Each structure stands twice: as structure tokens, then as C-alpha cells.
Structure 1
Amino acid sequence: MRRAPVPAALVCGTLLLLSACARSTGAERPPGVPTGVTAEAGSATSVHVMWNRVTGDPPVTAYWVYRGRAKVAEVPGDRHMVDVPRLRPGTSYVFTVRARDADGRLGPASRSVRASTPAAVAADASPPSRPGTLRGKPVGSRAAQLSWGAARDDREVVSYDVYQGDTKIHSVGGQQTATVVTGLRPGTRYRFTVRARDAADNLSPASAAVRLTTAPGADQGAATAPAGFRASTHRADGAYHIDLSWVPPRTDGVVTEYEVHLDGRPATSLVFGGNPPRDRASYSFYVGREPGVEHRVRLRARLPDGTWGALSEERTVTTGADG
């Protein structure tokens, strides 16, 4: 089969999604927009807000979190989550996040996300039970997969808090009993526990701890790679396009950015705005007008901690072979 060089039209283009090509790192530019922002009630009086870390030069040193127009929290640049307390029960709130760099520049606000606190629970002083057996396993060198048994409460478990040592690093909804923690260091031993929280902000005792050691080296782990990766081609208006689809990796946040590798090298990146897909995602891009050209294609995700995940399986396609 004949092989063609990566067409210039592929390196900079927008089709189904926003495709980001050149990324300026000029010192005059403010930080970028935080992506992957989510907000979920942690109790009747608190909301847990998360976002993806913003990379830049100069580096981001802080994140400002807003409830409506009011700034309610300032978070150090090495974190990407915060609990917003002292809220009203049974109330809907809107949150945004902005990044601030080392030179004091404040970037644009993220998209708005909404969360509603549950109704108040009168005279509830009973915490949930201790979560069931916590299990964990390293996923390569930079991630860990955790799962636990559901806690019980006389009313309702609203959320689960995940701790690394004595530090809370993540929170999930009360119906979720598993997560993937990213941003870990290779060859490092970690200790995790989980606590349940009810609407009255009562915290359960910590689960039994699980200890694990990440793999050495630079491997980022198969679980951080897009799953179910498929590739095919189609012809439209006299030109050929490669069509991709995949299932986003499970992480402790939202994946909004991907990098496409064509014939062994990065070719283009894409960023989902609005509500990034949680199930199957798709993307299509131009590769030229000549039939019978073979291409190898892979994909990887930028994880919420700002690092790149593992590459997907490689697929080989030939222009014209799929019609």
C-alpha cells in the first residue's frame, strides 16, 4: 500500500469539534479557560466543584471559584477541586472557575455549571455507616482504580469522599462506589480511605485503608487510554476522511481534550466544549484525495491532572476501502 505524508489540512482544521493546532505560550497571554468543570452536592449545605488543571507559561498558581458573580474560594494551582460550604439546603447554584498565573493575570471564566443541594434534614446527628471493603489496584504508574461497598444511612448517603493519606483528594455522588484516581507518581506507595457523607454533613468513619504501589517508569496505564477505539474512512466531495470513535477513559474528573496520532506522530488535537461525552465520542478529519493510501491512527486523552494518558490501540485504515 502507498503511504502519504500527513496533509497540511489535517494539522490545522475544525470538523466535528474544535481542533486546536498552534498553542501560543507567549507571556502576554492570560491563562486558558478551565475545562471539565463539574459541581455536585456534597451535603445539604455544600457543593463539591472540580475542574481540569490548566497548563501554561507562566504557570497557573491559583484558581478562583465563583458562585454566581461572587468569588467564594481561591485554590492553589496544584489542586483542581474545592468544597464550597455554607450553602442553603434545597437551593440551585451556578459555579464558574478562572485560572490566575504567576504574573497575576486572570484567565476567562469557565462554562457555568449548576448544582442543587438536597433538602434540609431536621435533627440528624447520625453519621452513615463505615463504607464496605475498599479495594484498589494500580493502573500503570500514574493512576489507581478504587472501589468500595456502599455505606448505609438512616436517610441517604449524598456523597463519598476519597482520601490519600489524610488529605481529601476527590468526591463522588452517593450512588457511585468506584473511581479512578489520576495524577499519581511512578513507583510510589499510596494509602487510600473513603468516608460517606449524608445531607446533614455527617461524616462516616473512614473505611479500612488500602495500600498500593504504582508501577515504576513512565507508563501511564492502560486504564487511562480511550477504550473501544475504532477507525474507518469515508469519501465526501471528492476527498477522504478518517472517522474515529472511542469510549473516554474513566478518571477522577472530566476528559475534554484528546490528541490524534497519525502514522506514528501527533497530527492534531481536539477539545470538546459544552458537555463532553461520557459514553462514546466521535471525530472525523480530512486526509487527502488519493485512494488506496494506508494510515495508522491512535488517540490519547489529556487527563484532569494535566498529564497525557496512555495511547489507545493502533488501528490501520486505507482510503477508499470503506467506500
Structure 2
Amino acid sequence: MKHTPTLFAEGFLFPEAPRWHAGRGQFFVSDIDRGQVFAVSTDGQRHQVYQGPDWVSGTAFEDDKTLLITNARSRSLVRVRLDQPDAPPEMIASLAEIAPYGINDMIRTPAGICFIDTVSFDFVAYARGEIAAQPSVLARVDGDGRVSVATDAVSFPNGMVLTPDGKRLLVADSLGQCVHAFALAADGTLSERSCFAAMPGEMPDGMCLDASGAAWVAAHGRVVRVAEGGEVLEEVDMGSTSATAVALGGADGRTLLITASDSYDRAVMARNPTGRLFTVQVAVPGVGLPSVY
């Protein structure tokens, strides 16, 4: 089945990392280059909840009023109190020692362990063909702020999904052209990497899981719903724009929210911002983190 997305909201520079919070009845979206995080209601109205010192990316809820955010270029994980808008962010951890260039998306387990993508090279220069990519590790931040390497068995970790049983972590490897599945132990240890879905010729980015066990994966020119093993079950044609991430939410969990931008070239984006949110109504509701809180 092929879907055509519907425009939901616009006016962003480079939106990413969508989440749905059922208790608040809102989507949350990062506008990376502007360093902003927004709460977005189901009618498309948005409210800014955070302004970072530089780029932002991943978010995760500790509870209904507390949001964790990755400051991408300063490579820090901070805590923001949504019910205290004037309170300064609380520093949780610096990832500078294991992230040479930046950090990106994140996911938090119910036990309080955060897995955070690191970036070891200037990916903007890489996208222009000026430098070669370097392997980037997946980081781990424990509840007490301790930082370690969760795994180096990835090339460029990106979107992540925690299965509802809490026993597997799926990691989109954008340069490895694969969605990996890691066994996740109760203590947060990752092991037994397998390939959930190979995506040759594509760059898997942000993703989410539905109740059937299939994953919706943003692959820039399109969004695909893939079963474990790699079979493409459904597709969203993004036309001339590029999908960066997805989340399933809404009152019934069947609204697929897609973040997208026409370009990844920062010079082009600065002159002509094209960041938008799109939606598609799907049959199977979302489950699992980070999409559904």
C-alpha cells in the first residue's frame, strides 16, 4: 500500500525527533538547527518549551512534567521542567569524551538508562562530499549521569525503538543501511546484534514501532513500514521533500507524524527554510518508546 502524506504544520527549519505524549495529548518535535523543542497539539498549533544553546535533537520524558533533551553540538544531556518554564535546564551529563563532534537522537528506558547517538565527524561536510565518514558509537548514560559506550557495533546510529517487552533495542544505522536489533538485558547491557531489516541503497533515520511488530522508518525520499526480516509492507511517498523521522500518536495511536525538510544543505536551509510536519492515517496503532509515552 502506498500513502500520500497530508501537510500538518510548517514554519520549521529542520524538524526531527517526534514523540507522542498521550497524557498531555501532544506531539513533541525538535527543530534541530534553531535549538528549539515544541509541543504540538493535534490541530497543528505549537508552543515552544525549550531553547537550547546550540542544536538540539533527541528528547525523552522522565514523567509528564520532565523532559530530557540532547544539546547536539555542546554534547550535553539536560533536564527541563515543563511546569517551570523559567527554571534553567539541569545538566545531567557531558558526552564530549566519547562524542568527538556531536550527539543526536536518544531513547530512555523505564529503568532510567539513556541511549544516545554520537557523531564522530562533521556530517554536514560529509553530506557535501568534503570528508569521509568515521564510525560513531552508541553511548549510554545511567541515571546517576555516568557515561559509557553501549556498543561500537554500529556505523552511524540514528533512530531507536525500545520494544514493549523491554528486551530489544532497535537501532537505525544510517550508513550501515540496516535496522539492527540488540538484545537488551535488565541492567542495560546490549548484546546479540542481529539485522531486523536490511535497507540496501537507503539511509534509515528516525523510526517507530506499531502493535504488529513492524517498524515505520524514515528513509528520506520515502517512509516505509517494514516487517522484521525486511519486507516492505507499506510506503509513504514523500515527493520532493525528505523524511527525517516518524512517530505514531494521536487519540487512537494511528496518526503517523512525519518530520521533513526539502534540503540537508545548511546554506540552502538558512535561505529557504522548508521544515514541515506531515501526517498519514494508518491501520495499526503505535507501541513502544520513544514514539508513545
Length-normalised TM-score, structure 2: 0.31
Higher strand share: 2
Length-normalised TM-score, structure 1: 0.29
| Bigger radius of gyration among the two | 1
